[in-house]
Structure 1
Amino acid sequence: MAVILAAGRATRFGTTKQVAELQGRPMVGHVVATALASSLVEQVLVVVGHDAGVVSAAVAGSGPVEVVDNPVHATGQASSVRAGVAAARRRGASAVVVLLADEPDVTAQAVDAVVGAVRDGAPASRARYEDGPGHPVAFAARVFDRLLGLDGDRGARDLLAELGAVAVPVPGPRPRDLDRPEDLAERDHR
């Protein structure tokens, strides 16, 4: 099951970046499409918080996508991970792959690679690009309790290290976060 983190305030962007248009569709829509294109993802959970109605509307009708509300999103990214993992657990997920709504250039192949490593027995895995580690990351159900104990704005970075996450090789450079309007404009002109 994919968990897309789309609850943030996006202060550097100046507006709700999750719905900023990128090639005719909202940025979060690209991430949803990537998750759905994966051969190992059957359902997508999109965690919303800031401007929840706007972000929810942007993913409506995208297929097997469910919106999960994070009422405490302002406390940091870990709260969105907790909300997504709790929802995935309630739905009986054997693993989750976590994607960020502001990284539309992650590929379905990268999703398949990290999910495959977890299905092969790793407690956690993370994409390893030519220039370093990045998203997506995946976790087996047996570590969901650890994810539910996260707090702050660092997400699962420290937990990945503690679990000895498998680094899964993914070709190409690490996908960039599109944190500012200039990042989006630059990406559009590549």
Structure 2
Amino acid sequence: MKRSPDHDQIVGILLAAGRGTRFDPSGAQNKLLQTTRQGDKVVVAAASKLLAALPQVTAVVRNADDAVAHELAELGCQLAICPDADQGMGVSLVCALTQRRHAAGWVIALADMPHVQATTIAALAEALKQGADMVAPFYQGQRGNPVAFSSKHIAELLLLGGDQGARTLLKAHPLTQIEVDDPGIHHDIDTSADLKAAV
């Protein structure tokens, strides 16, 4: 049987298909396209960290023609189109996993978390390579994002739906904790004030 080209790879998955209505209820401003204090667009900063740490990144977007998809494709992300993204984060995640189900594992990141360090992502991937099944970063004792799963959990991950994402799995199985010096794992962009906050 021919093996998938990413069979031995830890693949990055970037969830970038949300509407971000808390940032701008009118929908006029997409929070992922706003500029951080460091001068990068939110989604570009988040994707760049994944791409710096992992050989392949699949980004989930709402459609292939919008500005977010364009930014991600330009960076070199593979796109997973999820027209049903409004049903919740779990649906978006399944959309990406269906494309990359043969990977050795996945680091699942959020596109509205631009301050996560590439070293944190690399540490999660390394933990999977060393045999961990489920990994999360901790900063000052508090769990953050992204999270990582080995291929052992693919069946459960593909059953996810709604807005819970992988949270239910994190509660149901032993979790490998990695302490990181990275406050960015707790900082997402929900409001315009978050763009200006120091991390």
Q: Report the TM-score when normalising by structure 1.
A: 0.90
Matched-pair identity in %: 32
> Which residue of 35, 48, 61 maps to 2:50?
35
Unpaired stretches in structure 1, ≥5 consecutive residues: none
Q: Does 2:35 match 1:25?
A: no
Q: 2:174 corresponds to which letter in structure 1?
A: G
- Work out whether residues 120 and 182 of structure 2, in 8 Å CA contact, stay in contact via their aligned partners in 1: no
- Work out whether residues 5 and 98 of structure 1, in 8 Å CA contact, stay in contact via their aligned partners in 2: yes
Q: Residue 86 of structure 1 aligns to a residue in which SS?
A: helix
Partner residue, 2:197? 186
* Aligned counterparts, 1:64-103, within 5 A: 65-89=77-101, 92-103=102-113
Q: CA deviation at 1:24?
A: 3.3
Q: Does 2:192 match 1:166?
A: no
Q: CA deviation at 1:131?
A: 4.4
Q: CA deviation at 1:182?
A: 1.4
Superposed CA offset, 1:117-141 (max 9, x none): 1111121111111140011111111
> Which residue of 180, 188, 192 maps to 1:177?
188
The verdict on how the C-alpha distance between 1:185 and 1:150 changes in structure 2, with shifts beyond 3 A counting, is: same
Superposed CA offset, 1:2-56 (max 9, x none): 0000000100111211111223332111111101111xx1111110127961211
Q: 1:104 corresponds to which letter in structure 2?
A: P
**Please, which moves more after superposition, 1-10 or 161-170?**
161-170
Q: Residue 103 of structure 1 aligns to a residue in which SS?
A: coil
Unpaired stretches in structure 2, ≥5 consecutive residues: 1-10
Q: Residue 167 of structure 1 aligns to a residue in which SS?
A: strand
Q: 1:106 corresponds to which letter in structure 2?
A: V
Q: CA deviation at 1:60?
A: 2.7
Q: 2:131 corresponds to which letter in structure 1?
A: G
Q: 1:37 corresponds to which letter in structure 2?
A: A
Q: Does 2:20 match 1:5?
A: no
- CA root-mean-square deviation: 1.7
Partner residue, 1:129? 139
The verdict on how the C-alpha distance between 1:115 and 1:107 changes in structure 2, with shifts beyond 3 A counting, is: same
**Please, which moves more after superposition, 171-180 or 3-12?**
171-180
**Please, which moves more after superposition, 42-51 or 96-105?**
42-51
Give the distance between the partners of 2:40 and 2:79, measured in 1 at CA.
Answer: 18
Give the distance between the partners of 1:180 and 1:104, measured in 2 at CA.
Answer: 14
* Aligned counterparts, 1:109-120, within 5 A: 109-120=119-130
Q: 2:143 corresponds to which letter in structure 1?
A: P
**Please, which moves more after superposition, 169-178 or 122-131?**
169-178
Partner residue, 1:104? 114
Q: Does 2:74 match 1:57?
A: no
The verdict on how the C-alpha distance between 1:52 and 1:95 changes in structure 2, with shifts beyond 3 A counting, is: farther
Q: How many residues align?
A: 183
Which is richer in strand?
1
The verdict on how the C-alpha distance between 1:2 and 1:10 changes in structure 2, with shifts beyond 3 A counting, is: same
Q: CA deviation at 1:172?
A: 3.9
Q: Residue 113 of structure 2 aligns to a residue in which SS?
A: coil
- Work out whether residues 64 and 70 of structure 2, in 8 Å CA contact, stay in contact via their aligned partners in 1: no
- Work out whether residues 63 and 81 of structure 2, in 8 Å CA contact, stay in contact via their aligned partners in 1: no
